[in-house]
Amino acid sequence: KPVQELLRKANKLIKTYIEKNWEDWSKIDKNTYIKNIFFYITSEIKLNMLDNMNINTDLVYYNIFQDIEIGKKISVQSYKHDQSLHRIWEEATVISEDDDVIIVGNKKTKVIEANGRFWHTKEPSVTFFFKHHWFNVIGIIKPEGISYYCNLSSPVLTDEEALKYIDYDLDIKVSDDYSYHLLDQNEYNRHKIQMHYPKDLAEILESEFKVLESMVNSKTFPFQEVEVKRWYQTFLKIKAS
């Protein structure tokens, strides 16, 4: 089954169980229950996303039922498959959330690398974190137009601490004329061996790359200049309020 449908099924299973067993919910170890649900869903690809991203499962439960507050400032944490921290974006502002995507905006954000070195983003951006796709997309706003940087990654998960995902090395750089290039294939090939990527993962990433490629070629959401600019204006209004 498509992995995005598996993740939707995980959320549905949790909601259905709690609705039917609300009186007993307080007696249940929520962390164990939710981790088991997600493990069941991700077992088909031999991944345990929650463990790999150091997710507080009790807070995953909370966020299934509580939308992230619009305007909330939150950090973004990127991990690697071996559970090591890869990169932190110190602050992003939530500007939208629905069942499929969390959208954040930032400007001159401090980015901290795993080795402790840091830098600040040069251009403002709007980032689209998908809940059911294995990639995220950064719309970078430059004077000459909008370009995009796409990370092949796990679907985003959220706890009180941060937005979190596993970075799977491969990136796609999309220019403002919609030409694009696949980056970091050597890094992917190296980590695939070092970190023991399961075979199913390669199949998922290949499939999701085709989805992403189709979105770029057809200029569908979020690869639309008007959409990125609209969400950036929303970000500026939230920051000014």
Q: Which residue blocks in 43-71 are alpha helix, DSSP H? A: 49-52, 57-65
Q: Which residue blocks in 21-53 are alpha helix, DSSP H? A: 22-25, 30-42, 49-52
Cα–Cα distance, 237 to 241 (Å, whole number): 6
In DSSP notation, 151-215 reads EEEPPPEE-SSEEEEEEEEEEEEE-TTS-EEEE-HHHHHHHHHHTT--HHHHHHHHHHHHHHHHH
* Residue 167: Cβ within 10 Å count: 20
Across 108-121, b (16+ Cβ under 10 Å) vs e yields: ebebbeeeeeeeee
143 upstream amide cis, omega within 30 of 0: no
Catalytic residue from among 8, 87, 117, 190: 87
The owner of tokens 């294995």 is 134
Residue 87 known to be catalytic: yes
User: What are the catalytic residues?
Assistant: 87
